Amino acid sequence: MKKEDTVKLISAEGFEFVIDKKAAMVSQTIRYMLTSPGSFAETEHGEKDFNMQATILNIVDDLEYSFQFIPSDCSSGKETEFHIEPELTLELVMAANYLDT
């Protein structure tokens, strides 16, 4: 995969997650950051620092993997399940809200 086909998400602790750009663009927030006119660093470098824990961005990375590699069969109602620790639920909901996904 070419560098221009990926986006780097950087956690508050400095961990880097490189994900497919198409998957990242599902987020309206990330889409705006990467495509808005002007000289935003995100647009130029294809990376974004987030004030989110690496644990939360790792879950986002896992969901990106699911988006890209695991086919969803909506007609049968079969979906991929992810085990999420209950103590992370609120932070994950807040991240989803921020990312507008």
DSSP letter for each residue of 33-84? HHHSSS--HHHHHSEEE-SS-HHHHHHHHHHHHHHHHS--BTTTTB------
Which domains are delineated in the chain?
3-99 (3.30.710.10)
- More confidently predicted of 63 and 34: 34
Q: Give pLDDT, residue 14.
A: 94
pLDDT, tens digit, 9 for 90 and up, residues 9-33 = 899 999 998 888 888 888 888 888 8
